[in-house]
A and B are shown apart, each in its own frame.
Chain A
Amino acid sequence: MIKLDNICVQFGGVKALDNINAEFSQPISGIIGPNGAGKTTTMNSVSGFLDYQGTISWNGEVIDGLNPFKRTRWGLRRSFQKEQIADDLTVIDNLKALIDNLGIKGSQRKQDLEWAIESMGISALAYREAATLNTYERRLTDLARCILGNPKIVMLDEPCGGLQQDETERLGDLILKIPQLTRANTLVIDHDVDLIARICAETLVLDFGKPIAFGKTREVLANPKVKAAYLGVEEVA
């Protein structure tokens, strides 16, 4: 369970996050909201990339005291809105760059790498230079990194950005597999409400840095406040 307790973030005079409280107890949960609502800022807080007030914990383990790279070593994984694969490394080296820092050695390391690559169906790409990958393949590499090393929290920031409809569906299936592959709680941000409705049991809706709804995805999406703040905008756009 990922618990956000009174999270506040301030950029200069602007309150980017205003008292976010949420307990994501489902294997996969979502965060939705219009552009600039504070979704990425929420993930950046969990990553420790910025100063925030409040408490972030997973199954009672408070991670506020850990700096960003230690949070990764602790068991936090994430992908970014704009994926952050290193172009001059091969796919497997992009995974090694992570496992290098997790203290996993020897045969276990080899096994974990193979497992992550196979689980995402990218064995054929393992020795390809990342620069030659298309958007979907890069997203798969990202996902393989996210399940590597027995993670506790996985966060995916718009994992289906820039993907075709059928690719989004296949990636959705893979995200749905994360709870079977790992013990992690997964958080997903996406604009695609259909995707969120399909893969997230629970959803937090943000608007202007404030939580306007949180609960079962189906109920949240039916909430008139949510429809007004988000879905209305989205449907026009």
Chain B
Amino acid sequence: MKMTVSARVGLILAALAFVFLPMVLGGQWIKILISTGCFIIAASGVAFMYSRLGMVSLGQVALMGVGGWVMLRMNHAFHLPFEVNLAVAGAVTLMFGWLLAMPALRMRGLYLALITLMAAGGLEVIFSTFRFPNGGEGFWGVMPSVAAPFQRPLLATEDSDYLRYIIFWIVAAFLIIEMHMRTAPGRAWAMIRRSEAAAYSSGVNVVYYKAWAFGLAGFLAGISGGLLAGGLGLLDPATFRASESIMLFALMVVGGSRGWLGVIIAGILYRVVPALFNDWTIDADLALVIFGAALLHAIITAPNGLSGQLLDLIAKLSKRT
């Protein structure tokens, strides 16, 4: 398989980040980047659904919550390796993605978005009612105040190593999506996006491939939620509110949905910018105002998002020299 320039640049940057980021950053920022990385993985799922199938999913962060819940549940119930728990979290959330897909498969555009948003709302209620397992008794596994310890991967028990572990997973997530794009599912999705008639006349089983897309997005959400659980050790229902799913989608549009750069920008806007504002003691609500303006800017002037504008700029500059 041929590697594109963009893929090569991305892999080099990932390698540099892998080696140097944990070395140069302080403890607090490593923690922030760990959760940023998790949201980048989740955003990659919505981004490919949006850019490749034209499907708007407003439930991705809620699905992360499902993955996180399963991860914590597994962690506190059994003594299995982290990766096994992560695989279970990914698989269960994949099935949640399918569940979500069932009513949504016959719908398009706004209706599909609304269905996913309703599901996110439902999950928000469940999370805030039952909260996340922290080592307590019974199925829901919640005990008051203290929490039992969380078992991180053996290779990455320290925060700095865990950040590396996350970077590895970001690359893996992008590669999984890229593999899909270059094979039959990616082509089927392109046909579905063109039109249902185009898909049918290509022999594409539209329901099957749409469900596959939901499953993949769900899997990525599950992995990212599981990794976030590993990063924080415990999870708070407020992290997975329906409004967060909308926010992640909106920032993905701002960043640009078509490549890795846009998804990275989305993750940075989602997690790093508010943290910076916090550092500078600027009101966090100001971030919302800026995001709103950025979204308008993206919708009106930059169909490929900030990443598209950046790449255009680079292309222009390199032509001039």
Contacts and interface: CB of A to CB of B under 8 A. Distances in A.
A201 interface: no
- Interface centre among B187, B193, B197, B199, by most chain A C-beta atoms within 10 angstroms, is B187
Interface string A65-108: 00011111100111010001111110001001110111000000
Contacts of A100: 184, 187-188, 202-203
Contacts of B187: 86, 89, 93, 96-97, 100
A236 to B, nearest CB: 32
Interface in A179-215: none
B205 A101 contact: yes
Contacts of A73: 203
Interface residues of A, number: 27
Interface in B188-202: 188, 190-191, 193-195, 197-202
A49 B191 contact: no
Contacts of A141: none
Given A85-B194, A86-B194, A102 B203 contact: yes
- For chain A, what secondary structure do more than half of its interface residues adopt (helix, strand, loop), or is it mixed? mixed
B202 A98 contact: yes
Interface in B201-228: 201-206
Contacts of B193: 86, 88
Contacts of A87: 194
A190 B202 CA distance: 22
A84 B194 contact: yes
A112 to B, nearest CB: 14
A69 B204 contact: yes
Given A89-B187, A100-B188, A69 B194 contact: no
A84 B195 contact: yes
A42 interface: no
A152 to B, nearest CB: 13
A77 B202 CA distance: 8
A49 to B, nearest CB: 7
A47 interface: yes
B204 A97 contact: yes
Nearest to B192: A86
Contacts of A76: 201
B200 A97 contact: no
Contact of A84 (B184, B188, B197): B197
A77 B201 contact: yes
Given A88-B190, A96-B187, A80 B197 contact: yes
Interface in B23-65: none
A73 B200 CA distance: 9
A69 B190 contact: no
Interface string B159-198: 0000000000000000000000000100110110111011
Interface string A33-71: 000000000000001110000000000000000001111
A49 B188 contact: no
A55 B79 CA distance: 62
A68 to B, nearest CB: 4
Nearest to A101: B203
Contacts of A71: 200
- Interface centre among A69, A72, A102, by most chain B C-beta atoms within 10 angstroms, is A69
11 contacts: A69-B202, A69-B206, A72-B200, A86-B193, A86-B198, A87-B194, A89-B187, A97-B202, A100-B203, A101-B202, A101-B203
Interface of A: 47-49, 68-73, 76-78, 80, 84-89, 93, 96-98, 100-102, 145
Given A48-B200, A71-B200, A101-B202, 17 more contacts: A47-B197, A47-B200, A49-B197, A73-B203, A80-B197, A84-B197, A84-B198, A85-B194, A86-B187, A86-B198, A89-B190, A96-B184, A97-B188, A97-B191, A98-B203, A100-B203, A101-B204
| 9 tightest A-B CB contacts, nearest first | A101-B203, A84-B198, A72-B203, A68-B200, A97-B187, A100-B184, A86-B190, A98-B202, A86-B194
